[in-house]
Chains A and B, each alone.
Chain A
Amino acid sequence: MTAGLELIGVTKRFGANTIVDGVDLAAVAGEFLVLVGASGCGKSTILRMIAGLETVTAGRILIKGRDVTGARPDERDIAMVFQNYALYPHMSVAENMSFALSLTRTPKDEITRRVAAAARILGIEALLSRKPKALSGGQRQRVAMGRAIVREPSVFLFDEPLSNLDAKLRAQMRVELALLHKRLGKTTVYVTHDQVEAMTLADRIVILERGVIQQIGTPGEVFNRPRNLFVAGFIGSPVMNMFKGTLTGADCVELAGTRAVVRLPHPVTKRSAPAVVVGVRPQGLALSDTADAILRMHVKVAEYLGTETVLNGTLSGSDEPVTSVAVGDHGDLAGREVGLSIDPHHLHLFDAESQLNLIH
């Protein structure tokens, strides 16, 4: 398969600060890549380097096999949707959408055709003569996407496009974005800090920390087989529980401060020091009052969410924070002590020093 977009050893430095450090990344043509990470992890800088808005300190960027590292933004065959929409306030919706085409001297009837087609896809035909300030946030977002679509680029770049919308509209636009990508089938790079967007939209997720890629994988891969502690802690909501532990045998871990011994589904084959971190997703800790309840939790806050209840508290005996998700309404558990069993299949084990996953 041809690569729609390729980054080879891309590095960005501002003075002595390295913002992006030797990123290698390839997107298959038509793939939807989502870059996630905390603020300042370099995800937006990578997107801006692909767009040509930021120069590359070292490395190369290829779009459809063509080296565009030094090319001007408009010569890269890309279109970008900005977080704040970045619409031209003095132009109508139609003018906003056709501006790029008018600069390339595209024939008038071709411009009209493309603007009309994009407006139809996005359902903004009635807004074409309006100015941006007469539009709602959601409508502006659609116009920004329309402006990208009419250019028919090889690569779409999205910089946190939904973060200025309210929660309900964000969910709706997320679905629309997924449908739009399906329809257009263009290579897409999407930057977000919202992991729901990442999990629902991505073919593959790229997780970044301090300018370095931590893991690239499908949503299922990064959720079920996080490569290291950072990815495990970043993906998933509520956040994965992390307990300090000691490897006492090939398949036995004792949790610090609790005397609880967890049996692993498989023996650990990777070499590791005895000091480990045990990771269990809140969904893998089940309420239990039978003998398999190996942990006891003092529930401090019980958040009932309709179909499930998120229980926040501390482990009895070690004050370590712990979160569990239980199906149904358990709002009455606040202030009480409950037993928890661990589903070994939801268990992750990390080397305490290298932070790498020892099981997957």
Chain B
Amino acid sequence: MSAVANKNARVAWLFVLPAIVIMAAACLYPVISAVRLGFYEWSMGTPWSQARWAGLTSFQIAYTEPAVWSSLWTTLKFASVSVTAEMALGIGLALALEGNIRGQAAFRTLFILPMMVAPIAVGLTWRYLFDAQFGLINAVLGVFGVAAKGWLADESLAFAAIIIADIWQWTPFVFIMVVAGLANVDGSILEAARIDGARWWTMTMRVKLPMIAHVLAITLVMRLIDAFRVLEVIYVLTFGGPGASTEVLSLHIYKTAFIGQKLGAASAISVLLLAVVMVLTWLALRMSNPLADSEGDR
């Protein structure tokens, strides 16, 4: 690099420095604090000066506890099933509502409403819907002659219930992302494909979806991160039960910290969750990186 280029690079760094400082303060500080907490034994409500250095003890205890690994497994199952379903449904609906269909705008607006509802309210709503005695779902099933089910009392049904609630709330997010992505696809490319002989399936699989691959990747990453951190809806809907069948990692962290009063251990498990999410994000971005240099895949 020449001296001039070197100087330019230094000036460039100077210009982005304020942004880096703000990013570091806003993003890194909480992460570092959480990690640091894992090395201490500290009871909430007591001054930090009373915290006691505990070294790796919390990490050792946390990572050898079977409940941590089983809740991680539950989280993995929850995230993979719900995110796969949300992606498939969101993409499918976006493609279906792409043409010039009457009332399209109204339907789109209606469809994104669930996303705007607070998670706690979503949890409460679904709790009533799934209620074994008074719930709408059992009532509707009853019309078709299906016996009432104890949705939130059965392990696999409860797991299905939290997935259904998540799909209901977050499919719209995938839907709008894909609709926005498709709206940005150059119409003449689709016309060129029509002239080339692409029918619906070929058009979708070989032209449209590959052209919005970067949108799909970022959507997938955002949904995965969110699914791994899911808490409120499950907190209200099942509180991890029955047994620990719906106890996802973040709920386990919550219980460890605020019920078990083991903040160090909770922090240690948080670090595990952070690592898993980071690995997943890295993998998803490797598949199709929306932030990559445009000349990158030459």
Contacts and interface: CB of A to CB of B under 8 A. Distances in A.
A82 B192 contact: yes
Given A86-B186, A90-B211, A133-B295, A74 B194 contact: yes
B207 interface: yes
Interface of A: 51-53, 72-74, 78-80, 82-84, 86-90, 99-100, 103-104, 130-131, 133-134, 147, 151
Contacts of A51: 191, 195
Nearest to A98: B196
B213 A86 contact: no
Interface in B179-195: 186, 188-189, 191-195
B96 to A, nearest CB: 21
B217 interface: no
Interface of B: 186, 188-189, 191-198, 202, 206-207, 210-211, 213, 294-295, 297-298
B297 A131 contact: yes
Contacts, number: 67
A67 to B, nearest CB: 19
B298 A84 contact: no
Contacts of A88: 189, 192-193, 207, 211
15 contacts: A73-B194, A74-B194, A74-B196, A82-B191, A86-B186, A87-B192, A88-B189, A88-B211, A89-B189, A90-B211, A99-B198, A103-B197, A133-B295, A133-B298, A147-B196
Contacts of A53: 191, 194-195
Contacts of A72: 194
Contact of A86 (B191, B206, B298): B191
Contacts of B213: 90
Contacts of B211: 88-90
B294 to A, nearest CB: 6
Given A86-B188, A86-B191, A90-B211, A100 B298 contact: no
B197 A104 contact: yes
Nearest to B198: A103
A87 B207 CA distance: 11
B256 to A, nearest CB: 46
Contacts of B193: 88, 99
Contacts of A131: 297-298
Nearest to B197: A74
A131 B210 CA distance: 14
A189 B295 CA distance: 35
A68 to B, nearest CB: 13
B298 A134 contact: yes
Given A90-B211, A103-B202, A133 B192 contact: no
A131 B189 CA distance: 15
A60 B240 CA distance: 68
Contact of A80 (B192, B202, B207, B298): B192
Contacts of B298: 130-131, 133-134
Contacts of B295: 133-134
Contacts of B294: 133
B198 A79 contact: no
A237 to B, nearest CB: 29
A318 to B, nearest CB: 48
A151 B196 CA distance: 9
A133 B295 CA distance: 7
B187 to A, nearest CB: 9
A134 B186 CA distance: 18
Given A103-B197, A130-B298, A86 B210 contact: no
A80 B194 CA distance: 11
